[in-house]
Amino acid sequence: MEKESSGLIIGISIGVVIGVLLAIAAFFCFRRYHRRRPQVGNSSSRRAATVPIRANGVDTCTVLSDSSIGTESPKSIQNGMSFWLGSVRKSNVVSASGILEYSYKDLQRATYNFTTLIGQGAYGPVYKAQMSTGETVAVKVLATDSKQGEKEFQTEVMLLGRLHHRNLVNLVGYCAEKGQHMLIYVYMSRGSLASHLYDEKLEPLRWELRVQIALDVARGLEYLHDGAVPPVVHRDIKSSNILLDQSMSARVADFGLSREEMVSKHVSNIRGTFGYLDPEYISTRSFTKKSDVYSFGVLLFELIAGKNPLQGLIEYIELAAMTTDGKGGWEEIADSRLDGKYDLQELNDVAALAYKCVDRAAKKRPSMRDTVQVLSRILKSRHERKRQKRSLSATAEEITINVEQVDHRNPISGHRRVESIDSTADSYEV
């Protein structure tokens, strides 16, 4: 019995020891897992972005509006951002979010000690930078004494880390070091839409290109409203925030004022750019997707008229609308720099769409999805007209070739006819 009792005690002891060892091992695994989890969890919620900035000379297209992210608690965002920024390694490697963190020294070297100024924004200067990889980027440095600039930094990094679309400016990196906040974007070599509309030194935009730019912007906004989860309201659509790449494709930039629709739509202060602001937003202090639609309508009229909204564009439009039926007769406001080189039907169709977008009643405005469909139809009709024109031209050329072939064959028989007539004449004279 004693042997059996001893064996039982030994077995229990061994089991307890093994259990304790397993518990200790489980504890250390659990602790190690939780050390890694905040970094992975935080980063995975912000996927790699697709976001570029402007890149022209020093002009109005770099000036940003004095904006705010409204009533959303800056404290909660700041805590979240500092936690995220602290969790990523301070080295030039891709974080789990896909956004690069650059060191201050790297950017100092790439901008030749910040001497390559290309513009001045509302919150600080913008520099052109040549990275060691050969990539050209634009670096926006946010003023250290600007609380609003810090909010813009937080908003852009958090939003653009999860937004992916070919018509949105892509954020490729950031720097949060030595008290500096910098945003790094893809360099947009053709600058802003505003510079092409108002800079007399640049060649005027062709009408066909203006419509294509409008469609690019509409697609970017449609993605923000209907493709992003949760939806995002940009709140600062204007020509200086539309950037053009080397192929003149347009992208929406500057998300410092943007808000997710799930956040409270009511704000204490009116933020945005005068001339583009939705009247309903001004009166109710409440912004919606239709606020972006209104700003887009103003942008469409800006493309048509080549007139700055800050110089009474909407009043100019209202006066023109009094002499039109809302659908036709808009050619009287066409940009003089177009020199009459536009399709009249297209211009009237785009203007009619723009007029619906700037309706003072938000409910009567179309959605961005509707505007994309209308602009797509306009371009499709243009392509069909060109195709028909090419087809008619080809038919005409074919007919010309056939006539020429007949003419090449006829001279012989014609010569024979002349000889026959001559011989008849000779015989008649005899």
Query: Which class for 415: exposed (0-12), middle (13-18), buried (19 or more C-beta within 10 A)?
Result: exposed
H or E element in which residue 174 lies: strand 171-177
Q: Residue 235: how many CB atoms within 10 A of its CB?
A: 28
Taking CA 153 as the corner, what is the angle to CA 129 and CA 68, rounded to the nearest 5 degrees?
A: 130
Beta-carbon contacts of 296 under 8 Å, excluding residues fewer than 6 positions away, are 217, 218, 221, 237, 357, 368, 371
Strands 136-142 and 52-53: unpaired
**Phi (first) and psi of residue 21, to 5 degrees:** -60, -45
Q: Which of 312, 302, 347, 343 is nearest to 327 (CA)?
A: 347
> What distance in Å separates the CA atoms of residue 289 and residue 17, rounded to the nearest whole number?
64
Quote the tokens at residue 370.
């509707």
236 tagged catalytic: yes
**Phi (first) and psi of residue 121, to 5 degrees:** -95, 175
> What distance in Å separates the CA atoms of residue 278 and residue 53, rounded to the nearest whole number?
25
CA distances from 42 to 26, 92, 253 (A): 24, 18, 25
Quote the tokens at residue 56.
């022209």
Selected catalytic residue, list 236, 278, 335, 349: 236
* 25 backbone φψ class: left, alpha, beta (φ>0; ψ -120 to 50): alpha
Q: E-strand spans in 346-385?
A: none
**Which residues carry out catalysis?**
236
